[in-house]
Chain A
Amino acid sequence: MKGLHGLIFAYGKHLGLRELTERRSPASVPFGGRYRLIDFMLSNMVNAGVDDVGVVLQGNYQSLLDHVGSGKDWDLSRKHGGLRLLPPFAMTQHRDDSAFRGRMEALAGVESYLEKIRQDHVVLADSDTIINIPLQEVYQAHLKSGADITAVCSRNLEDCPEDATYFHVDGAGCITSTVVDVREPEGVRGLDIYILSKELLLNLVKECKRTGHYSFRTAVLQGMSDKLKLNAYLWDGYAAQIHTLAEYYSRSMELLDSDIRANIFPKERPIFTKELNVSSTYLDPDGACVNSLVADGCTIEGTVENSILFRGVSVAKGAVVKNCILMQNVSVGENAELDAVIADKNVKITDGCTLVASSKYPMALAKNAEI
């Protein structure tokens, strides 16, 4: 049948996220006060009318399973299709102990799933890209262009991750060459969102399996560039790929910019997430809260500035929180002082504790730590 099928790669292990991925895969790293990284790509797909989404898992995916559950919060809990989680045991070929070396290897592991895809086109995307893009428009552009593969690209070359993909594009939007492993950005930056037909995807998977290749970028985009028509879809909206703690911190802090918020949280394309039942946030007369994003269920009796508070955070009297990211249920004791701290879920900062880092090198506190 006509339509788009979603495939999200949630297997990566970005050691660069340090403490945040000690107990979870990058896909389920909390972001933006009430979301997980994967929520953005899942919501993009759902908002584009994608009914079926497969998520390729590996590594510490327990937390991701808890988060997505049946897929109900994204309207992906369906009688037919919907959300399908693809853990490594589904693989027949894979060396079971180590991480996937590339997308093609990950896809080879779920080949039998790919064969059963109902739709004639597939969108491939990473789980750690912060973007709110109308994928339906990308899909229509792909169909119109007659390209074999359409890659979503950004002209913005600021803040590119180290391992970014770059493309050189001609005036007609055709990709003339693919560049990887370079220090300086060139051309346009790929966002690792690709649309191609199911048939081509299956052929590519079979071909790579036969030849022992595992990387989509080198084996397909570079290696088959003479056989395939590659097109770029230029996206001028906000896009961020989060691979390191420094990127995590600065991309998070960008959310305090109302233009960026408007770009990733437009009314017409909501970002869905797992609901949590908490009351509204209470702001005490003794407290103050400025230039901050505050999710529900927080109690603020101290001072909060330039920070992001996830659901259920409490900041006690006399405490001062500046430039921080405090995740779900973090509690900050009386007269504590925090600057440039990323506190993971359930971290407890005791009374009077002072933790001062710098925005250039924020301090990350692992889940459940008591300081």
Chain B
Amino acid sequence: MLLAGGQGSRLYVLTSNVAKPAVPFGGKYRIIDFPLSNCTNAGIDTVGVLTQYKPLELNSYIGSGQPWDLDRSSGGVHILPPYMVEGDKGSWYKGTANAIYQNIGFVDMYDPDYVVILSGDHIYKMNYRKMVQAHKAAGAACTISVLEVPWDEASRFGIMNVDGEDNIVEFQEKPKEPKSNLASMGIYVFSWKKLRQYLIDDENNPNSSNDFGKNIIPAMLDAGEKMIAYRFEGYWKDVGTLESLWDANMDMLSRGDLDLLDSDWPIYARIPNQPPAFMGKNAKVEHTVATQGCEIYGEAFNSVLSDSVVIEEGAQVRYSVLMPGVHVKKGAKVEYAIVGEGVQIGEEAKVGGDPMEVDPDKWGIAVLGPGAVIASGETVAPKTMLNRKHEEVSR
């Protein structure tokens, strides 16, 4: 069950019209491709995607599920929006746990032994099958995937305190003084019968905020259920903020822990139909990924160029993430920026700036919302964010 209904408000203008999981990533992907591909690679062939916030683009992107091999005659991928029930009782998803609660009927249709709960805002490659195996082997009611984070960052995460056998003994949400550095990745395996009961009990508790982290996990701990931590090693990034989204794109470029060319664990995507990228006679492209449909006549350094990006002659793009269809006109310069789908950047315009050349207080990633139009010669300062209508949005 993939929780894809969040607004992603910390991505600001990038999610003003789409749900966070539908935000483009790494040239050819959208964030949701990672959990969906992980599912299909792990052999999970029945996936519910819970949508709520601006689902249109996400729905059409997922479609039949065919790019992820999830167009099955039994199982496959299912979009699960909130719905009405008799007596006008339906409601929006109130929290992560409530979203699953409202879809108990869906899960029951397939009657699984175990349910994996995923979220649609993480970039990582993970074999959920191994996690389910660990869950089964331990005879646990709940298994939570954890990542060792640097101690000084531990207070930003939900921290799992474990005993010598990785049994979870305590859960602390963003503790001031963390007792462990095992951060929850928001990936859970539950034995369905157990979870089903806890969801029903939680729903009957009027004081609950119906959230896995805040309510379900603490309730199960209090009841003494067997809960284990599953240690994950590898690349994992929550791309819920503009900075982390930019970071993850740059991580992908360096192809260290996050190698998307690796064919052993492919990440699948719905691929727009475009001719191959064209590199012009004076194109200079370094440490950059380019995608089909690109036309590059200018320069690009350390950047991610999604499909159909055009960089005209004399234009320069550095340390930036350009989403599909961005057009950078002659002589324009784009640095340290996230540029949303279809943005037009006029001739000789300047977007963002190099941190070495800007006062550190004033520096930040410049962000242009999808569809924004930057006039010729215009300057968009570092850290500035503009929406579709070219209005400045503060963070």
Contact = CB atoms under 8 A, between A and B. Distances in A.
Given A275-B271, A291-B280, A299-B261, 14 more contacts: A32-B276, A34-B292, A270-B273, A273-B273, A277-B271, A279-B260, A281-B289, A283-B286, A283-B290, A285-B287, A290-B279, A290-B281, A292-B278, A293-B279
Contacts of A304: 279
B276 A277 contact: no
Nearest to B262: A279
A294 interface: yes
24 contacts: A33-B276, A34-B275, A258-B295, A275-B67, A277-B271, A278-B261, A279-B28, A279-B267, A279-B289, A280-B260, A281-B277, A281-B289, A282-B261, A289-B279, A289-B283, A289-B285, A290-B281, A291-B281, A293-B275, A293-B276, A293-B278, A294-B278, A296-B28, A297-B261
Interface in B277-329: 277-292, 295, 304-306
A258 B312 CA distance: 13
Nearest to B284: A288
B314 to A, nearest CB: 15
| Size category, A interface | 35 or more
B286 A284 contact: yes
Contacts, number: 103
Q: Interface centre among B268, B292, B295, by most A CB within 10 Å? A: B292
A286 to B, nearest CB: 8
A281 B278 contact: no
A261 interface: yes
A272 interface: yes
B277 A294 contact: yes
Nearest to B291: A280
Contacts of A315: none
A347 interface: no
Q: Interface centre among B274, B275, B305, B306, by most A CB within 10 Å? A: B275
Contacts of A275: 67, 271
A47 to B, nearest CB: 11
Nearest to A73: B273
A229 B22 CA distance: 55
Interface in A245-303: 256, 258, 261, 265, 270-273, 275, 277-285, 287-297, 299
Sorted nearest first, the 6 A-B pairs with minimum C-beta distance are A280-B27, A33-B276, A280-B289, A279-B260, A295-B276, A285-B286
A285 B286 CA distance: 4
A309 interface: yes
A278 B307 CA distance: 13
Contacts of B390: none
A295 B288 CA distance: 14
A293 B261 contact: no
Q: Interface centre among B279, B289, B291, B305, by most A CB within 10 Å? A: B279
Nearest to B306: A280
Interface string B26-50: 1110000000000000000000000
Q: Label chain B's interface by main secondary structure.
A: loop
A279 B37 CA distance: 13
B269 to A, nearest CB: 7
B289 A291 contact: no
Given A281-B290, A283-B286, A283-B287, A294 B261 contact: no
A281 B304 CA distance: 10
A281 to B, nearest CB: 5
A293 B79 CA distance: 38
A314 to B, nearest CB: 9
A265 B276 CA distance: 10
Contact of A294 (B26, B276, B284): B276
A175 B338 CA distance: 58
Nearest to A278: B261
A279 B276 contact: no
B266 interface: yes
B289 A282 contact: yes
B255 interface: yes
Interface of B: 26-28, 66-67, 253, 255, 260-261, 266-269, 271, 273-292, 295, 304-306
Given A277-B266, A279-B26, A279-B27, A294 B287 contact: no
A34 B278 CA distance: 13
Contact of B277 (A256, A271, A295, A310): A295
A297 B266 CA distance: 12
A190 B287 CA distance: 47
B31 to A, nearest CB: 15
B305 A280 contact: yes
Contacts of A284: 286-287
A272 B274 CA distance: 8
A32 B275 CA distance: 8
A292 B297 CA distance: 11
A283 B28 contact: no
Contacts of B267: 279
Given A280-B28, A283-B285, A33 B291 contact: no
Nearest to B289: A280
B278 A261 contact: yes
A258 to B, nearest CB: 7
Contacts of A290: 279-283
Nearest to A289: B279
Nearest to A314: B261
B233 to A, nearest CB: 22
B277 to A, nearest CB: 5
A281 B295 CA distance: 13
Contact of B289 (A277, A283, A285): A283
Contacts of B266: 277
Q: Interface centre among A273, A285, A293, A294, by most B CB within 10 Å? A: A294
Nearest to A33: B276
Q: Interface centre among A279, A291, A304, by most B CB within 10 Å? A: A279
Nearest to A309: B276
B324 to A, nearest CB: 11
A282 B255 contact: yes
Contacts of A283: 285-290
Contacts of B273: 270-273
Contacts of A279: 26-28, 260-261, 267, 289
B278 A258 contact: yes
A293 B278 CA distance: 5
Interface in A8-52: 32-34
A282 B288 CA distance: 6
Contacts of A34: 275-276, 292
Contacts of B287: 283-285
Nearest to B270: A275
B277 A293 contact: yes
Nearest to B293: A265
Nearest to B281: A291
Q: Interface centre among A32, A282, A284, A304, by most B CB within 10 Å? A: A282
A280 B290 contact: yes
Contacts of A295: 276-277, 292
